[in-house]
Structure 1
Amino acid sequence: MRKILDGLFMGSAWLAAFSMIIVLIMVLLSMAGRTLNFYLPGADAYAGYAMAASGFLALAHTLKRGEHIRVTLIVGKLNGAARKAMELWALTVGGALSALVATYSWRLVLQSHQFHDISTGNDATPLWIPQLFMALGATVLFIALLDEWVLEWQNRRSHQSEETRHE
């Protein structure tokens, strides 16, 4: 199971990286178009869609690497059962919020598909396509938070300090 989860998180990170490459390509094509007097319809919109996709798809991998910004003012001073309770509480709240974001993101994808919602730009992209990546990223984040919750419950989650992690 660990290999499958790690593969899911890494696959999501690779999709995020690929999305960043799409952003670069769209920006370069837009710049070349201005220089060479041609217009690529939707380049700005596609760059924006890819940027949003990269942000959402990278969330789980960032969490698993311990790179999310955390306020450790309180939890850093706790030890033992108190720390475990605080970590479980934070992971529970984070998991619940990510479950809500994932649920409503999938609803948005389905509604956009049902209503044939398209972008207002001249590219007329069906909006369910870029929304799909947001829903996918939010779902993978929920799975990562659930995984972290289980690891914390089993005392298998590492609590590296900021200084230790970057040495």
Structure 2
Amino acid sequence: MNDWSPFLGLPLWVWLFVLPSVLALAAAFAGPAMARAMRPVWRALDAIYVAGGVVAALFLVTILGLIVAQMIARWTGTAFPGSTNYAGYAMAGASFFALAYAMTRGAHIRVAIFLNINPFLSRWLDVAALFVAAVTATYFARFAVKATILSEMLNDRTQGQDRLPDWLISAFRLEFEGGTGWSYTPIWIPQLVMSAGAILLAICLWDLLIRTLATRERQIVAEAME
């Protein structure tokens, strides 16, 4: 995991794991001073998490639109090829973009039996759980991005009937070339959604860890299940 070192000067694992851990340690020692310095960053991150939730909601609306379109196509005897694949891509987008927003709202299922024993144990178990979750999510995000890059290199295409216009595929490649044809969906395009959501979740977990250490308060307070 050192493929960024020629560009950023440090191995990739340092950027992904060591530097966030150092920030967490600084938050543990600096406490309120760190919290005051980080508040503008936290406000910006909160806005990004909400934006991710909005994008997830738009994907859910897209699924609804696809269901309605499938119903109309069935009633009128019109073919709608690839509709199931499009719905699957939208479901992936709704799931992954909602992860960070759901985490900040306490919508993920958390088993809090041991967290309710006493405040001291609650705090440090929460910190340990956030650290393990942040490391795990960072690994997942790293290899999600790697899988996306590999799919683009191999020009991997869907095995279904879904297609995208050539100009849209070019736009995703940032080439902005014209084109009037349609091609089978490159797998890396829906994988971009997975990668973006996984990156956002990893950032969110490191952020919650740092906030917990800096403010000395539990940041996830509205657990879906106690």
Structure 1 and Structure 2 fold alike (TM over 0.5): yes
Structure scoring higher RCO (CA < 8 A, sep ≥ 6) equals 2
Instruction: Report runs of 4+ in structure 1 exceeding 4 Å deviation.
Output: none
Aligned pairs for 1:38-77 within 5 A: 38-77=78-117
Paired residue type of 1:12: G
Q: Distance in 1 between matches of 2:102 and 2:110?
A: 12
Tell me by how many angstroms 1:160 deviates: 3.3
Contact 1:30 1:44 in 2 (8 A): no
Q: Quote the residue 1:18 is aligned against.
A: 58
1:33 aligns with 2:70: no
Larger CA Rg, structure 1 vs 2: 2
Q: Distance in 2 between matches of 1:27 and 1:161?
A: 32
Contact 2:155 2:186 in 1 (8 A): yes
Tell me by how many angstroms 1:4 deviates: 1.2
Aligned pairs for 1:1-167 within 5 A: 1-80=41-120, 82-123=121-162, 124-154=184-214, 155-158=216-219, 160=221
Q: Deviations over 1:79-138 (max 9, x none)?
A: 22x222211110011001110111111011111111111110122211111111111111
Q: 1:132 to 1:162 in 2, by over 3 A?
A: closer
Q: Distance in 1 between matches of 2:145 and 2:206?
A: 18
Identity percentage of aligned residues = 31
Q: 1:152 to 1:22 in 2, by over 3 A?
A: same
Paired residue type of 1:151: R
Q: Distance in 2 between matches of 1:31 and 1:52?
A: 22
Q: Distance in 2 between matches of 1:71 and 1:26?
A: 36
TM-score by length of 2: 0.68
Structure 1: tracts of 5 or more residues without a match: none
TM-score by length of 1: 0.91
Q: Distance in 2 between matches of 1:58 and 1:146?
A: 17
Tell me by how many angstroms 1:162 deviates: 5.1
